[in-house]
A and B are shown apart, each in its own frame.
Chain A
């Protein structure tokens, strides 16, 4: 019960302190630009004769390049959603314990009959609820915009959204570890660096797959084990992208910069979930020993 009380407090605090209003306003602006831009692009894709040589070649061999282009537009939008949600998770979590200790608002809470793990879990649930709402709304809006312009429905939308949400929850819980012992700004910056590095390693892996360079692939896998955020994005992208015809032709290449050739296995998803739980456990362990 106490866990849910803290979760509720965390969620309501974000709503009442209007901390996220700026982020929501900016997101709406980005979605508006996205809707306008994709409308324009889809119009060109479907009404004009393709000019590119590769596109003509593909059309001759019976590949629906138009669908692939639409899929790439969708992935571009979801890529933005995924990264904005990831950074929101990092910056919300960086302050969640640290700032409350600095300000002293935890003093009157922790002296009451409530365990530290309940505070950690409650804050994570509250943060996760916020991020879930954010991801669900923005990802659905992105998908709706593409459907509205091009009539494309992703094959496995719920799984795609669930994986993006898990990615945000993962980043929230990992960042909480830092928040349990370090100042908010230090944690935020450190996690931002780790996050960017994980994304870059994910790209290295993609290139490694395409060029069949084993060492690059392995680098990416190791990075995914250290922080499986990019792996979750790849799994999510693979759930919503149109079928990729290239591997059948013997080319291990994704359709565009946002697409995925070889998505991580389902075990990576399980690993990410366990990783999230372990991060919460570690946060509790550190916070329980922390002097407030």
Chain B
């Protein structure tokens, strides 16, 4: 309970960590304060503050070039922040104590391909300091988890891209981590492989392991994540529990036949448009906006379904011809597009 309150009000990180050590509660799995990275004059990450509670699956989202991979690299100690600080499992970034309990699958999963699968895992287990006696059991365990038990004796050079990504996940789990950071873990996998990875992530959560998932596959994130942060241009634009972020956000999808600009204007003054095609180009060219038969689709933000009759009424009064009026809950994709577009507008 204490942990929950602490997490919901991400107060000062100092306070949170103090509570973590003194109170006996687990510290946040990942925490950053004003993390910044510049490459020359280019700012990759501007001012990033994250809080990832332990035991959850955390989705880290953002458009290409938003700074996701740079952030992840700063977390695992591959890249030095220009400014700001962060903590993994209560230890400052780069501290070997945190890295002892950290599993990481890099976006670029390239390994020493002359090694045999078991040899590769044995080497990485040894870096974690896993005792020799225990390694064999661990290797068998993670190979099974990655679905590669049959390939233990094969040289990595003979692996397909998907298999390399799987052995990369196995490598991330070999040290019995408390925190697993996966950077685009399914980029090389087919749909079945993706489902396997989702299952692995769920099993990790069942064991109380925090998973930090960097992905641009929104459907995937929606299926497994408890909490998400959306970043754009190196800043967090949304952060919170997935259920809360998309809850309460309703929208009405309105299909109108040849609407007049006046009617559209009237509607949008009462209900802000979540998404509307450019009216100048209304005709039938705008993708997703106009359908082939000159019907315009507008999505309006509403509080709840009780507003639907008022919308219908306003349309009829404005002389519009209503084809369809569909209430929709916001999906993660909508939230994502909205968050990123708002900033870019």
Q: Are A108 and B168 in contact (CB under 8 A)?
A: yes
Cβ of A51 within 8 Å of any chain B Cβ, yes or no, is no
User: A233 to chain B: closest CB distance in Å?
Assistant: 34
- Complex interface: stretch among B100-108, B200-208, B232-240, B289-297: B100-108
Residues of A close to B126: CB separation below 8 A: 5
Cβ < 8 Å to B, chain A residues 108-143: 108-115
Asked whether B194 is an interface residue with its Cβ less than 8 Å from the other chain, the reply is no
A108-B99 CB under 8 A given contacts A5-B123, A13-B114: no
Contact: B127 with A109, CB < 8 Å?
A: yes
Residues of A within 8 A of B108 (CB): 104, 107
Chain A residues with a Cβ closer than 8 Å to the other chain, count: 21
Q: Is the CB of A16 within 8 A of B114?
A: yes
Residues 84-127 (chain B) with a chain A CB within 8 angstroms:
96-97, 99-100, 102, 104-106, 108-112, 114-115, 123-124, 126-127
Please provide the chain B residues from 33 to 91 with a CB less than 8 Å away from any CB of chain A in the complex: 73, 76-80
| Nearest CB of A to B166, in Å | 14
For the complex, what is the distance from the CA of A2 to the CA of B115, rounded to whole Å? 18
- Known A-B contacts A16-B114, A105-B112; the reply to A113 vs B100 at CB < 8 A is yes
For B78, B79, B97, the residue with the greatest tally of chain A CB atoms inside 10 Å of its CB is: B78
**In the complex the two chains form, what is the Cα distance from A110 to B127 in whole Å?**
10
Say whether A9 faces chain B, with CB atoms less than 8 Å apart: yes
Residues in A neighbouring B129, C-beta threshold 8 A: 113
Contact with B along A161-173 (1 / 0, CB 8 A): 0000000000000
Question: Is B78 within 8 A of A112, CB to CB?
Answer: no
Q: How far apart sit A103 and B106, CA to CA, in the bound complex (Å)?
A: 12
Give the shortest distance, in Å, between A223 (CB) and chain B (any CB). Answer: 36
Q: Which of B76, B111, B126, B127 has the most chain A CB atoms inside 10 A of its CB?
A: B127
Inter-chain contact B175/A112, CB cutoff 8 Å: yes
Q: B164: shortest Cβ distance to chain A, in Å? A: 11
- Known contacts: A104-B108, A105-B111. The answer to whether A113 contacts B127 by CB under 8 A is yes
Q: Mark A144-163, 1 if CB is under 8 A from B, else 0.
A: 00000000000000000000
A105 in contact with B175 given A9-B123, A113-B100 (CB within 8 Å): no
A132 to chain B, nearest CB (A): 22
Known: A113-B96, A113-B128. A108 touches B171 (CB 8 A): yes
What separation, in Å, do the CA atoms of A202 and B343 have in the docked complex?
Answer: 65
Q: Are B124 and A108 in contact (CB under 8 A)?
A: yes
Do B114 and A17 touch (CB < 8 A)? Answer: yes
Q: Kindly report which residue of chain A lies nearest to residue B171, judged by CB atoms.
A: A108
B106: which A residues are within 8 A, CB to CB?
A: 104, 107-108, 111
Smallest CB gap from A289: residue in B: B80
Q: For the complex formed, measure the closest distance between the CB of B44 and the CB atoms of chain A, giving whole angstroms.
A: 10
CA distance A113 to B176 in the complex (A): 13
Task: Decide yes or no whether A185 CB sits under 8 A from chain B.
Answer: no
B177 CB to closest chain A CB (Å) equals 10
In the complex, the answer to whether A110 meets B78 with C-beta atoms within 8 Å is: yes
Q: Verify if A291 is at the interface (C-beta below 8 Å from B).
A: yes
Residue pair A104, B99 in contact (C-beta under 8 Å): no
Q: Is A211 part of the contact surface with B, judged by Cβ < 8 Å?
A: no
With A and B bound together, what is the CA distance between A112 and B104 in angstroms?
8
Those of B286-338 within 8 Å (CB) of chain A: none
Q: List which B115-145 residues lie within 8 A (CB) of chain A.
A: 115, 123-124, 126-129
- A110 and B77 contacting across the interface, CB-CB below 8 Å: yes
In the complex, A107→B111 CA distance in Å?
A: 9
Docked pose: A13 CA to B113 CA in angstroms:
10
Knowing A111-B78, A112-B127, A289-B80, the reply to whether A103 touches B110 (Cβ < 8 A) is yes
Interface contact A111-B80, CB-CB below 8 Å? no
User: B124: shortest Cβ distance to chain A, in Å?
Assistant: 7
- Assembly CA distance A16 to B112 (angstroms): 11
The answer to whether B111 touches A108, judged by C-beta atoms less than 8 angstroms apart, is: yes
CB closest residue in chain B, given A116: B77
Contacts of A17 in B (CB 8 A): 114
| Chain B residues within 8 Å of A, Cβ to Cβ | 73, 76-80, 96-97, 99-100, 102, 104-106, 108-112, 114-115, 123-124, 126-129, 168, 171-172, 175
Nearest 8 A/B pairs, CB to CB: A104-B108, A107-B106, A111-B76, A104-B110, A112-B127, A113-B96, A111-B104, A291-B79
